Every structure is written in structure tokens, then in C-alpha cells.
Amino acid sequence: MRSVVFAGFDGEDNPARLLVERVSAPCRKVILPNDNALSAALMRDEIARSPLTAIMTGQKPSIRSKIAVERFARADCGILETDVDCGRVVRFFRENGYDAYKSSGAGNSYCNAVYAEVLKIFPRGLFLHIPLLKNISDFGELVKAFDKFIRQFDFEQE
């Protein structure tokens, strides 16, 4: 059975790192360094192990208690789009009690850079932005939502 790679960026108060550490769903957990080249290399190594999908998370300061499902990454070669149906991802989270929306802005820094590098070699990658820790009303509920997503979302349907 192919596994899910679940990655989040490092940092003491980074909710993406805390989320990766706290999910209990069966997945390969990866903490990404705050370095574009090292993060990209780490994700390339994980993808070489033939995962079903690669889910990456990072923080987005402008949102509160919702998940931004990133459809695109910008790269030197243009705009790259995930093969994962972002509308289905949004519906899954909403149907399971956590607000989500489709976004077209993976950012200008680490998040976009690692997402673009993943999509260049693995179109089944998915980047999900979560709020800053102070903007998450119930972190335990967020962890439950991601546990359920990793366990129950039908990635094979993609």
C-alpha cells in the first residue's frame, strides 16, 4: 500500500510543525527546514518512495480557523497546478466540520517554493495553508480534521 507523505515547516511556534507532530493518522511525517533547497530535496526523496500523495502544510497569517487549499504554485516555468481536486478537498473539510476554501496564492516564500518543486515532479502534491497558531480557535479540532482527511479522503479517486 502506498502511503501519504504529510509535511509541515519547522519552527517553534509554527502550527504546521505542531500539526504534523500531532496527527495520529498513518502517514510518513516530514518536518521541512526553513530552507528552499533543503526542503525541496527532502520532498524529492520522499516522493521517490512512491507515495499515494504528498500533503504539505504551512502557515498563512491572513486566515482564521480555516484551511486554504492551494490550487497553484508559481515557478520559473510558469504556473503549476495540482492534479488533486481542490473542490473535493474543500468539501471534505467542510462536511467534516472545518471550514476551507480554494486559494490561488501559495505565497511568495518557502510554501510556494517547495510546492512548485514538488509539482514539477509529482502533480499529486497538495499544499494546505493553516492559520497562525493565535488564529486557530481550537487546535485539537484542526488536528482531528487532518487526521480524518489523511485517513478517509479518497486520494485514489483523483
3-state secondary structure of 73: strand
Name the β-bridge partners of 123.
none
Residue 124 has pLDDT above 80, yes or no: yes
Identify the structural domains of the chain with CATH numbers, from first to last: 4-157 (3.40.630.20)
- Using CA atoms, how far apart are residues 122 and 44, in angstroms rounded to an integer? 9
pLDDT tens, position by position, 64-122: 999 999 999 999 889 999 999 999 999 999 999 999 999 987 877 889 999 999 999 99
Q: Which of 55, 28, 65 is nearest to 141 (CA)?
A: 65
